[in-house]
């Protein structure tokens, strides 16, 4: 067994792993609540047992066990790797990049990952001081989703995460009464950066309590929210929000709904506000930057920057300056500034298409596809391969049980130049969305190839 503290610079500024009184609720669920003091004791206990190593891939399904494993790794000076998916091939790719890594989780696998360390069923506890982490310690590496190509690593220090969490708290703080402890229920996994920010860091550093699980179906979401005291905040995605609205299920009173990971249609935001009687607040960010802006999508088109964030438009994207970033970060998003703290998204550099001298954007093509009555889900994307003329054509996969391909194309013909009509356009039973509703580019390409061969 190695020492509890590794890779620690004693001259660095140290900060608590979590803020608040030890009696405050950190987690809740069907079995009741877990207080911060108990969490600290279990972090110390697990940290003393962890294998030696510099990197750990946290595969925990249970959100509380993810929190314990993350805290224990940070206390040991180990870096938590957050792959874009827990699919074995994705985990193997991350392990290949970091050969000194091991995996941690609470579950038994049919095909156990290499170097897998399973958390004890009964988490050990150890007395001691409040766990502290160096502000400049590298504690996590998040990976982009791969929706536009190969996932890329993005390192996060404890100080940068503390600063970005303070910004997130400022962006959401007016959703619940002063002095109250908000109870968050999240449908997104903690391994995704949005899930990490809202369901791991907000409970640790923002004074919130979080539900132990990751409810998926509308009935699961309703049960999790019923286990929460008010004020309740639902952290979700447009895909889950649409399912909730269309299900007709009743939810207990909500203080607010937070949405991210994909563009939220204004009509869906308005329908959710009407249906559930609360504000839907959309946040904008990325794995590279964390959350940097917010808006009330049902009533606003423009985004509002969080405190300390500044944008600098570039010909091929946007530079993001923020207090939690060591250096400006370049995003492919194209923006138009509005006043001192507002902006409009005008697409992504990678989404811009030019075929036969004509231009369009994938974002606009997708909006037009999804606006067709009868289309339940769909995606337009550009093929990797070129045709005989050297052009990368457009394809589409559509979930539309009551329409055939020709009817969908007729709708699109009314608003699209013929060169941008997706061919092939194929109907599918469902799209291969990942845990956060995203559609990795290579998965779309593989599905299309399997259908046209």
For residues 377 and 277, membership in a common domain is answered with no
For residues 200 and 266, membership in a common domain is answered with yes
- What confidence score (pLDDT) does residue 87 get? 77
Domain limit, last residue, from 300, 326, 341: 300
**In the chain, how many domains are there?**
2
Structure-token pair, residue 412: 């699109």
Structure-token pair, residue 367: 């909006």
For residues 122 and 255, membership in a common domain is answered with yes
For residues 267 and 129, membership in a common domain is answered with yes
Vertex 61: Cα angle to 264 and 26 (nearest 5): 80
For residues 360 and 295, membership in a common domain is answered with no
For residues 295 and 368, membership in a common domain is answered with no
- What confidence score (pLDDT) does residue 6 get? 37
For residues 362 and 245, membership in a common domain is answered with no
For residues 254 and 361, membership in a common domain is answered with no
Do the domain assignments include residue 346? no
- What confidence score (pLDDT) does residue 10 get? 45
pTM: 0.83
Do the domain assignments include residue 332? no
**At residue 146, does pLDDT exceed 70?**
no
Do the domain assignments include residue 204? yes
In the predicted model, what is the mean pLDDT of residues 66-75? 98
Domain limit, last residue, from 300, 322, 347: 300
pLDDT one-digit tens code per residue, 228-242: 999 999 999 998 999
The burial class, CB within 10 Å (0-12 / 13-18 / 19+), for 56 is buried
Sign of the alpha-carbon dihedral angle for 324, 328, 333, 334: positive
Do the domain assignments include residue 344? no
Mean pLDDT taken over the chain? 90
- What confidence score (pLDDT) does residue 72 get? 98
Q: With beta carbons less than 8 A apart as the criterion, state whether 134 and 8 touch.
A: yes
| Better-scored residue on pLDDT, 65 or 414 | 65
Non-local CB neighbours of 287 within 8 Å, separated by 6+ positions: 142, 143, 144, 145, 152, 154, 193
- What confidence score (pLDDT) does residue 193 get? 92
pLDDT one-digit tens code per residue, 16-26: 999 999 999 99
**At residue 430, does pLDDT exceed 60?**
yes
pLDDT one-digit tens code per residue, 370-379: 889 999 999 9
For residues 49 and 189, membership in a common domain is answered with yes
Do the domain assignments include residue 414? yes
Do the domain assignments include residue 5? no
Give CB contacts under 8 A, 24+ apart, made by 117-121: 117/50, 117/51, 119/46, 119/60, 119/65, 119/68, 119/69, 120/46, 120/49
How sure is the predictor about 316, in pLDDT bands with cuts at 50, 70 and 90?
Answer: confident
- What confidence score (pLDDT) does residue 199 get? 97
117-146: b or e for each residue (b if 16 or more CB lie within 10 Å)?
eebeeebeeeeeebbbbbbebbbbbbbbbb
pLDDT one-digit tens code per residue, 98-137: 999 999 999 888 778 888 999 999 999 999 999 999 999 9
For residues 37 and 103, membership in a common domain is answered with yes
- What confidence score (pLDDT) does residue 4 get? 36
CA distances from 211 to 26, 29, 72, 259 (A): 9, 6, 20, 17
- What confidence score (pLDDT) does residue 443 get? 85
Domain limit, last residue, from 277, 300, 323: 300
| Better-scored residue on pLDDT, 213 or 450 | 213
- Give the whole-number percent of the chain exceeding pLDDT 70: 93
- What confidence score (pLDDT) does residue 3 get? 33
Q: What is the CATH number of the domain that holds 105?
A: 3.40.50.12780
For residues 286 and 361, membership in a common domain is answered with no
DSSP-based three-state secondary structure for 163: helix
- What confidence score (pLDDT) does residue 125 get? 97
Do the domain assignments include residue 351? no
Non-local CB neighbours of 35 within 8 Å, separated by 6+ positions: 22, 23, 24, 25, 26
Q: What is the CATH number of the domain that holds 378?
A: 3.30.300.30
**At residue 13, does pLDDT exceed 80?**
yes
- What confidence score (pLDDT) does residue 9 get? 46
How sure is the predictor about 367, in pLDDT bands with cuts at 50, 70 and 90?
Answer: confident
How sure is the predictor about 283, in pLDDT bands with cuts at 50, 70 and 90?
Answer: very high
Do the domain assignments include residue 325? no
pLDDT one-digit tens code per residue, 333-342: 889 999 989 9
How sure is the predictor about 390, in pLDDT bands with cuts at 50, 70 and 90?
Answer: low
- What confidence score (pLDDT) does residue 343 get? 96
- What confidence score (pLDDT) does residue 59 get? 93
- What confidence score (pLDDT) does residue 439 get? 84
How sure is the predictor about 438, in pLDDT bands with cuts at 50, 70 and 90?
Answer: confident
Structural domain that includes position 165: 14-300
For residues 441 and 366, membership in a common domain is answered with yes
Gap between the Cα atoms of 135 and 375, Å rounded? 48
């Amino acid at each position: 067994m190695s020492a509890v503290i590794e890779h620690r610079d004693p001259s660095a500024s140290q900060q608590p792993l979590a803020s608040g009184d030890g009696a405050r609720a950190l987690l809740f669920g069907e079995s009741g609540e877990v207080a911060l003091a108990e969490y600290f004791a279990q972090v110390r206990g697990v940290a003393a047992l962890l294998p030696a190593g510099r990197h750990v891939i946290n595969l925990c399904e249970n959100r509380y066990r993810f929190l314990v494993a993350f805290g224990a790794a940070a206390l040991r000076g180990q870096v938590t790797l957050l792959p874009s998916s827990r699919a074995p091939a994705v985990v193997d790719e991350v392990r290949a990049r970091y050969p000194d890594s091991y995996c941690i989780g609470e579950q038994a696998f049919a095909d156990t990952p290499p170097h897998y360390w399973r958390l004890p069923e009964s988490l050990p506890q150890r007395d001691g001081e409040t766990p502290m982490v160096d502000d400049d310690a590298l504690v996590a590496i998040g990976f982009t989703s791969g929706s536009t190509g190969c996932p890329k690593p993005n390192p996060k220090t404890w100080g940068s995460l503390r600063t970005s969490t303070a910004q997130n708290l400022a962006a959401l703080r007016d959703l619940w009464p002063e002095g109250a402890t908000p109870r968050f229920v999240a449908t997104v996994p903690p391994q995704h950066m949005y899930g990490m920010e809202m369901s791991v860091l907000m409970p640790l550093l923002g004074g919130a309590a979080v539900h132990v699980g990751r409810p998926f179906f509308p009935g699961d979401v309703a049960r999790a929210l019923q286990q929460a005291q008010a004020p309740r905040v639902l952290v979700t995605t447009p895909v889950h929000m649409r399912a909730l609205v269309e299900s007709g299920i009743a939810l207990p009173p909500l203080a607010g709904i937070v949405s991210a990971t994909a563009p939220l249609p204004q009509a869906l935001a308005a329908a959710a506000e009407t249906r559930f009687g609360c504000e839907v607040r959309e946040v904008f960010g990325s794995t590279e930057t964390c959350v940097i802006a917010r808006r009330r999508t049902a009533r606003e088109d423009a985004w509002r920057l969080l405190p300390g964030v500044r944008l600098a438009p570039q010909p091929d994207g946007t530079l993001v300056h923020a207090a939690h970033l060591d250096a400006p970060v370049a995003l492919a998003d194209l923006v138009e500034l509005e006043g001192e703290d507002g902006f409009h998204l005008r697409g992504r550099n990678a989404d811009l298409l030019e075929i036969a001298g004509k231009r369009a954007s994938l974002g606009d093509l997708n909006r037009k596809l999804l606006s067709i009555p009868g289309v339940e889900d769909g995606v337009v994307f550009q093929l990797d391969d070129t045709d005989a003329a050297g052009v990368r054509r457009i394809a589409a996969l559509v979930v539309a049980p009551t329409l055939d391909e020709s009817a969908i194309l007729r709708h699109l013909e009314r608003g699209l130049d013929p060169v941008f009509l997706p061919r092939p356009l194929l109907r599918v039973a469902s799209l291969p969305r990942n845990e956060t509703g995203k559609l990795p580019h290579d998965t779309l390409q593989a599905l299309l190839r399997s259908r046209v061969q």
